[in-house]
Structure 1
């Protein structure tokens, strides 16, 4: 149902009449009763929204939305809880708050790099990466145990040289020497296999 009546203020309806009109809307979907409520409340709701600082076009739109809620939810009105006026103005206030929240929520830029899915590496790159990993694994196995151990601790467990020296009970100079020897050997092995970046 479309509601586009002019928002000129009609003579006031007394509260008992408002309650009987809303009952007619709730029980019989009475359009004439709704029309009277619309002419009474729509301009008053718009004026209320304007007083709260809502710009004119938005105030009119929110007043229309408020009256749509009155039409759709008339059956939920409980005269024991509030007067018709209080109920209608509460709907309007909530509509205004919802609108303000929507306006304050930042809009997302779909071009923002953070919102882009990570590009999947192509199959060639994945295959090359797997080959490199396998060659590195073989090269590590070719190292003497004491050199492989310092490589594992330094590069895979990311331990500082001093921490490695303490852990395997060796002088710091020996740990550094083993690391240099291990890296030199790894580079040679990988270069021989055509993979010269360890």
Structure 2
């Protein structure tokens, strides 16, 4: 069989390929059918395998292995490629990840700006210590223990000051509404 494959690679010998095809095609198809459990897919992969054998026959080296190992490795690799391709999800343009967010209406934008301005005004009424803790916790996204370490105060103090700041903010926002 190695002589046939070498003749295909060297001379593009069609008769040698026919002999190789008649011998290996049924074996490759049976191998793929056992793995795929789909006769049509096994047939297609066998055809792709034999086309690859024709195209890559010049790359075969007898010193690196025998013909059947080389051909079945091609078949296995093509099956793996087909499996990966089929497992990839199709692109869905209606997927929420690809659909832009709806443009908010003008009145909702104005309302958000007014609420943000109310919050800013309420935050200005807080003592500097509480305001600093809120900025670190919510704008810098630092943990309570990081804040305690950075300011050299106990973690309980950080938590109680943040709770107190929320209470004052809630009261200030209720007054402004």
TM-score category, normalised to shorter length: 0.5 to 0.7
- After TM superposition, the structure 1 = structure 2 runs for residues 90-169 of structure 1, keeping only pairs within 5 Å, are 90-101=73-84, 105=87, 107=89, 110=92, 113=96, 115-117=97-99, 119=101, 121-122=103-104, 124=106, 125-126=108-109, 128-141=111-124, 143=125, 146=127, 149-150=129-130, 153=133, 157=137, 163=157
Question: Does residue 87 in structure 1 map to residue 70 in structure 2?
Answer: yes
Question: Does residue 41 in structure 1 map to residue 24 in structure 2?
Answer: yes
Identify unmatched segments of 5+ residues in structure 2.
Answer: 139-143, 145-155
- Secondary structure at the aligned position of 1:64 is classed as helix
From the superposition, tell whether residues 31 and 128 of structure 1 become closer, same or farther in structure 2 (CA, over 3 Å): farther
Distance in 1 between the 2:5 and 2:113 partners?
73
- After TM superposition, the structure 1 = structure 2 runs for residues 55-94 of structure 1, keeping only pairs within 5 Å, are 55-94=38-77
Identify unmatched segments of 5+ residues in structure 1.
Answer: 1-17, 169-174, 191-195
Question: Does residue 184 in structure 1 map to residue 167 in structure 2?
Answer: no
Distance in 1 between the 2:73 and 2:169 partners?
76
Considering fraction of residues, name the structure with more helix.
2
Cα offsets for 1:73-100 (capped at 9, x unmatched): 1121111011112211222233334445
From the superposition, tell whether residues 50 and 154 of structure 1 become closer, same or farther in structure 2 (CA, over 3 Å): closer
Distance in 1 between the 2:22 and 2:71 partners?
13
Shift of 1:19: 2.0
Distance in 2 between the 1:52 and 1:179 partners?
63
Distance in 2 between the 1:166 and 1:156 partners?
15
- Secondary structure at the aligned position of 2:63 is classed as coil
From the superposition, tell whether residues 84 and 179 of structure 1 become closer, same or farther in structure 2 (CA, over 3 Å): closer
CA contact (8 A) 2:29 2:42 kept: yes
Instruction: Report the aligned-residue RMSD.
Output: 3.8
Larger radius of gyration: 1
Distance in 1 between the 2:111 and 2:131 partners?
23
TM-score of the superposed pair, with normalisation by structure 2: 0.63
TM-score of the superposed pair, with normalisation by structure 1: 0.58
